[in-house]
Chain A
Amino acid sequence: MKNLIITTVGRDRPGIVAGISDILYQCNANILKTRASALGEIFVMVMVVDVSKINTNLKDLILKLKEKGVELGSGISVEDEETYKKKKKLVAFDLDGTLISMETLDELAKIWGVEGKVKEITKMAMEGKIGFKEALTKRVSFLKGLPVEELEKLREKIRLTPGAQDLIKELKKAGFITAIITGGFDYFAKYVGDKLGVDYVYANKLVVKKGKLTGKFTGNIVSPKAKLEALMEIAKKEGISLSECVAVGDGANDIFILKSSGLGIGYKPKKLVKRKVNALIDSEDLRTIMAFIGNGHVRRDVIKKLERKRLE
């Protein structure tokens, strides 16, 4: 028997339990346990579901649940029992679009008047017509000559995504290791990392000569695979396994890291990513993540119940 664990978390509103349980009913999945609680304005629900007799394939069911979560304005995660119970120890974040609400490369291009050219390459990369590394190399080359002061000015304008600061604080308090792994640039990543107190920062570096960008970069975070390798390196250093890691990201570049971690969370992700992640946060703020992996009372209750069942 294979059980799924479904977690929803979001602003309390009527119909959350009804909405999710109705989909499960339509697919002939049986709800074994539910624990739900309204904590002030936030409603958290965890369901243990037997999917051994479903009348559709599991992928479609999970897709429907994720869509419903978005519709209900709730973050939603769908995991199997084993990964749910596993204690998570590290959370790795993408930078642009995930921890900060800005695409720094696009903004630099805007400043330098090469926005159109850069966007065209970005689009080609997203459509798979050109490799990630080639795309990054090309886009950075358009920035040749940009004075470093412009980077400084842009850095002042960086805004963290809602809840990012509190989330990192809570994660650290709960003993999680934190990391930023980005295909963007250390000039911004280190700044954000220092500000938030993040433990590891992996990013590329823009090469500067005489106060100006040369249009070249160093570093090897240039592909989905490279991002995953960076995470593996951190995990190895910390002596933990990938299944104890959580990844949070939004772009095509994050797909490997999201798929290979214990839990991959898409934060306002691109369409392609939305289909592939186990957990999805589309509207609520980043703190939602705590309900998926933290030690809140609802999650604690469910894990206790799952352990009890095993002993019986």
Chain B
Amino acid sequence: MIAVGKDKPGLVAGVTTMISKLKGNIEEMDQVVLRDVFVMSLLIKFLDSENLREPEELKEALISQGEKIGLKVHIYPLKDL
């Protein structure tokens, strides 16, 4: 997952809270602020056993919740890369 937007306080908290609410676990994370631009990349694992949502649903949930806090979110399933 990659999230990009204008930097402001609360973005890391916003993104990671939404991930943990969706029962995802962060495996790797790298985040920087370049000038005023917030850039965050994450490898997230969603365990099927804890998750009843379809991958498409998860993707949409992350994108729409990201939008609410002003971030453009892109999701790439690892197997497709």
Which residues does A use to contact B, with CB under 8 Å? 12, 14-18, 21-22, 24-25, 28-38, 45, 305
Determine the main DSSP class of A at the interface with B.
mixed
CB distance from A217 to the nearest CB of B (A): 52
A45 touches B12 (CB 8 A): no
The interface size bin for chain B is 20 to 34
B30 touches A34 (CB 8 A): yes
Which residues of chain A are within 8 angstroms of B23 by Cβ–Cβ distance?
14
16 further A-B contacts with Cβ under 8 Å, apart from A17-B16, A25-B14, are A12-B25, A14-B24, A14-B25, A21-B12, A24-B9, A25-B9, A30-B7, A30-B33, A31-B12, A31-B33, A33-B31, A33-B33, A36-B26, A37-B27, A37-B28, A37-B29
Q: Give the nearest-CB partner of B30 in chain A.
A: A35
Which residues of chain A are within 8 angstroms of B28 by Cβ–Cβ distance?
36-38
B12 touches A38 (CB 8 A): no
Measured CA separation A37–B13 after assembly (Å): 17
CB distance from B16 to the nearest CB of A (A): 4
B10 close to chain A: CB less than 8 A: yes
B71 close to chain A: CB less than 8 A: no
Measured CA separation A25–B7 after assembly (Å): 13
Which residues of chain A are within 8 angstroms of B20 by Cβ–Cβ distance?
14-15, 18
B30 touches A18 (CB 8 A): no
* Contacts A14-B25, A18-B20, A38-B26 given; does A32 touch B32 at CB 8 Å: yes
B9 touches A30 (CB 8 A): yes
Interface residues of B in 26-44 (CB under 8 A from A): 26-33, 40
B17 touches A31 (CB 8 A): no
B19 close to chain A: CB less than 8 A: yes
B29 touches A36 (CB 8 A): yes
A24 touches B13 (CB 8 A): yes
Measured CA separation A202–B40 after assembly (Å): 48
Measured CA separation A38–B25 after assembly (Å): 10
B26 touches A31 (CB 8 A): no
A31 touches B19 (CB 8 A): no
A38 touches B27 (CB 8 A): yes
A18 touches B33 (CB 8 A): no
Which residues of chain A are within 8 angstroms of B13 by Cβ–Cβ distance?
18, 21-22, 24-25
Q: Give the nearest-CB partner of A13 in chain B.
A: B25
A17 touches B25 (CB 8 A): no
CB distance from B38 to the nearest CB of A (A): 9
Which residues of chain B are within 8 angstroms of A21 by Cβ–Cβ distance?
12-13, 16
Which residues of chain A are within 8 angstroms of B12 by Cβ–Cβ distance?
17, 21, 24-25, 31, 34
Q: Give the nearest-CB partner of B12 in chain A.
A: A21
Which residues of chain A are within 8 angstroms of B10 by Cβ–Cβ distance?
25
Out of B16, B17, B29, name the residue touching A35 (CB < 8 Å): B29
CB distance from B58 to the nearest CB of A (A): 15
Measured CA separation A298–B11 after assembly (Å): 21
CB distance from A10 to the nearest CB of B (A): 14
CB distance from B49 to the nearest CB of A (A): 13
Measured CA separation A246–B28 after assembly (Å): 28
CB distance from A84 to the nearest CB of B (A): 17
